[in-house]
Amino acid sequence: MLRVATWNVNSVKARLEHLCNWVKETSPDVVLLQEIKCEDHKFPAMEVEDLGYNILVHGQKAYNGVAILSKRPIEDPLIGLPGDDSDEQARYLEATISGVRIASIYLPNGNPVDTDKYPYKLAWMARLRDRARELLDLEETFVLAGDYNICPGDEDTYDPVGFAGDALCLPESRALFREILYMGVTEAYRAIHPKEIAYTYWDFQRGAWQKDDGLRIDHLLLSPPAADRLGNVGIDRTMRGKQRPSDHVPIWCELSED
């Protein structure tokens, strides 16, 4: 079994204790991190390697940043999302682990929508769609996982009316997300829990966690061969109740061995 987890830690340095404790408790084979908010050389490699993980990092000072941690060898890394050589934001990291192509994704938020941040989000999503198509054409077994900053449906936000004009829920954002799914990609959580109301993110403001005012914006997208191997999927929401938590919680899936 290959257990793949993804977690926007909102600063790996600030959440290092939480990360290490969670990894010890749950022992995922692969951990995909987003918003590590540090440059490559400042990633806490020693602490993570002491837990038995290999590390691949694509960092950026104070912002963004993604990482792949794996108990198994990390092969053929791809650093950065193809399609725009001028894009300097550290948001995409891809590699092969045990024959599965796995990516850690931190998709742009896109707000405020009346700024250049929203066109950047849509263009980034179009590039991700194109990369997914390339991997499908290559018949790769893949998991594209991370913080997508997309609520796929109204059921994925506590306040559909209030979020109707948000970049996470606008029709153009959702349409690009659906384009990826319509190519034959499976959204792991909904494959196992088609009707359940569940969230992966709660804002730090307005008592969102206490009121369960959440959003489901972290996703694991599987190619057909990976979806055929899907056994279980879950959200570790208890991590949001810790002292000084990330505003996101881990989400994971289990794939049977090929």
The rounded distance, in Å, linking the Cα atoms of 236 and 217 is: 14
Residue 257's pLDDT is: 86
CB 116 within 8 A of CB 129: no
Residue 110 lies in a domain: yes
Q: What is the DSSP letter of 157?
A: B
Q: How many domains does the chain have?
A: 1
> For each of the chain's 258 residues, which pLDDT tens digit applies?
999 999 999 999 999 999 999 999 999 999 999 999 999 999 999 999 999 999 999 999 999 999 999 999 999 999 999 999 999 999 999 999 999 999 999 999 999 999 999 999 999 999 999 999 999 999 999 999 999 999 999 999 999 999 999 999 999 999 999 999 999 999 999 999 999 999 999 999 999 999 999 999 999 999 999 999 999 999 999 999 999 999 999 999 999 987
What CATH number is attached to the domain comprising 113? 3.60.10.10
Nearest to 250, CA basis, from 81, 85, 47, 28:
28
Query: Is 34 part of a structural domain of the chain?
Result: no
Would you tell me how many other CB atoms lie within 10 Å of the CB of residue 256?
Answer: 10
Residues in the chain: 258
Residue 236 inside a domain? The answer is yes
211 inside domain = yes
Q: Give a yes or no: residue 8 inside a domain.
A: no
Domain residue limits at 180 = 73-255
